[in-house]
Structure 1
Amino acid sequence: MINETLASPTNYPLSSADIDSYHRDGHILLRQVASTEEVKNYRTAINEAVTKYNTETRALSERDTYGKAFLQIMNLWEQDQAVRKFVLAKRFAQIAADLMGCENVRIYHDQALFKEPGGGFTPWHQDQYYWPLDTNKTITLWMPLVEITEEMGIMKFASGSHTEGYIDKLGISDASQNFLEEYIKKNNFPVSTTSFMQAGDATFHSGWTLHGAPGNNSGTMREVMTIIYFADGARALEPDNKNRVADLERWLPGIKPGELAASPLNPLVL
């Protein structure tokens, strides 16, 4: 049964050291943002929604690098009432707002990112390459629904890379992997990861932080749910790549460049 324990915005206080760490590195790992029991309450609903709305039927061998990286099912909150309670949880939104240093946040979209056994690596990339938003106050929560180990494909980050802003226009691809791996080495950004995450642990990273993940070399599905937030008051940008054109239409429907990014698909969650 789904409970309402995630509805409180105040039961995961951050320290000033946490906030300083996020601003310095562009990412942070927070343990037990949701308890194992809380995640268990939602995992079944999320898995059922993933099964229902997944459209990828090709074998791994038939997909390109992006397709091998994960099953990607977006905006489950639109489709499923139980998942909606998870995605619109005030506890998560409060953490996002506190880390970004803003009072109110909106949803950009959610994503289930399930990396199949044998699934490929996730190339280095910047999320905000895809987002036509005029603010640097964007952040992604990345939360496993099961215990995950290093061999399953835990996120890695290039610490401090968010300070460089918009680095490339390649998107998630072999090209982004090659270019950005060299860029990270050239600029001496330390690569940070962890060897284990429990269900309910979460990373938060800036939209400009370079990140990726190894492949899933285990026999277990890497079940992860992500939620993207941005500061209320942000406006839509004129898209400068085809992915931002598509994002403007899908995630900011009816919004024109220069207008407030506040479509019905971008609810104010805090």
Structure 2
Amino acid sequence: MEAVIDKGALLNELDSYYTVSPEAIAFYREKGYIKLKDVLSPAVLDYYGDIITDLVFKLNTLIKPMEERTTYERAFLQIMNLWREDDQAKEFVFSKRLAKIAADLMGVEGVRIYHDQALYKEPSGGITPWHADQFYWPLASPNTVTVWIPLQATPMEMGPLAFAERSQHVEIGRDMEISDASEKILADELQQQNFVMHDTPFDLGEVSFHAGWTFHRAGPNISDRPRGVMTMIYMDKDQVIMQPRNKFQVADHAKWLDNAPVGSHPQDELNPVLFSY
């Protein structure tokens, strides 16, 4: 007999608050990331994971064989802004529980969504090279954070996310797109500067938050199952749009910010406030 899903309980969980300890907040601000256990229940991850997975395979357009793909294409299937594609995906993306954690970690009054993205690393999928996300974003303040939510337990062989501790404060590599070059140059530079790399598995229900300028990477998926991950990027609700500095920021300004004027705040239609005190 099929289990009856209590949708009300799932929605209640997504909007109930998770208390972030002062120690966790201090850790995040010092090291540029935090991993938090038992943030989401297996029931929520199972229900919404199926919805997200279906959308990824419905919307994916990358069908080249693995050997013909670039390093970036081998890293994952990437589907963006699922909240605008599906009402149930929107329930997950707009979770007040997750948005409040983001606000508390950054110490801001509230957060907007920048955009969401599903990242599916297929079996035999390659590495995700070292990079910092904010290279791609025309946002003036460093008050940005990404939540990384594995939709299954993620052992080392599936390529969990790894972080260079305290790297959010350094200027190296801030002009590098994600590539073979960024992997090599940043790996060498981070090693020379003695950055500690935190690379550990994720339990089911464990999620991470990392700052926009924190360098991170992921290993290959050498398991026989896809590594499903959902991410949401949050920004301070009072974030300011800056003049784009590279072609990627020009594209992001158009796609995720609807070309809102430089110097203004993001608009509510594409970038609604998800949590505010």
What TM-score, normalized to structure 1? 0.96
Corresponding residue of 1:208: 213
Q: Give the Cα separation in 1 of the matches to 2:173 and 2:106.
A: 20
Q: 180, 183, 201: which is aligned to 1:174? A: 180
Corresponding residue of 2:273: 268
> SS of the residue aligned with 1:107?
strand
Q: 224, 228, 237: which is aligned to 2:233? A: 228
Q: Give the Cα separation in 2 of the matches to 1:164 and 1:126.
A: 11
CA apart distance, 1:254: 3.4
Q: Give the Cα separation in 2 of the matches to 1:56 and 1:247.
A: 20
Corresponding residue of 2:160: 154
- Identify unmatched segments of 5+ residues in structure 2: none
> SS of the residue aligned with 2:273?
coil
CA apart distance, 1:32: 1.4
Corresponding residue of 1:199: 204
CA apart distance, 1:176: 0.7
CA apart distance, 1:82: 0.5
Q: Give the Cα separation in 1 of the matches to 2:162 and 2:24.
A: 18
Q: Give the Cα separation in 2 of the matches to 1:230 and 1:82.
A: 22
Deviation per residue, 1:133-175 (Å, 9 max, x gap)? 0111100000111111101001111000001157331211011
CA apart distance, 1:35: 0.8
Deviation per residue, 1:183-233 (Å, 9 max, x gap)? 101211100021x32332101000000000000011110000000000011
Pair 1:4 & 2:30 matched: no
Runs of 4+ in structure 1 deviating by more than 4 angstroms, as ranges, are none
Q: Give the Cα separation in 2 of the matches to 1:165 and 1:104.
A: 27
CA apart distance, 1:6: 3.4
> SS of the residue aligned with 2:274?
coil
Corresponding residue of 1:187: 193
Two-structure CA RMSD over aligned residues (Å):
1.2
Q: Which amino acid aligns with 2:105?
A: L
**Conserved? CA contact 2:173–2:182, under 8 Å:** no
**Conserved? CA contact 1:149–1:197, under 8 Å:** yes
**Conserved? CA contact 1:120–1:214, under 8 Å:** yes
CA apart distance, 1:125: 0.2
CA apart distance, 1:4: 0.8
- Identify unmatched segments of 5+ residues in structure 1: none
Which stretch shifts more, 17-26 or 34-43? 34-43
> SS of the residue aligned with 1:197?
coil
Q: Which amino acid aligns with 2:99?
A: A
Q: Which amino acid aligns with 2:218?
A: A
Q: Which amino acid aligns with 2:31?
A: D
Q: Which amino acid aligns with 2:35?
A: L
Pair 1:16 & 2:22 matched: yes
Number of aligned positions between the proteins: 268
Question: Matched residues, percent identical?
Answer: 43
Corresponding residue of 1:247: 252
What TM-score, normalized to structure 2? 0.94
**Conserved? CA contact 1:132–1:238, under 8 Å:** yes
User: Does the C-alpha gap of structure 1 residues 105 and 165 become closer, same or farther in structure 2, counting only changes over 3 Å?
Assistant: farther
Which stretch shifts more, 117-126 or 257-266? 257-266
CA apart distance, 1:9: 4.4
**Conserved? CA contact 2:120–2:226, under 8 Å:** yes
CA apart distance, 1:94: 0.5
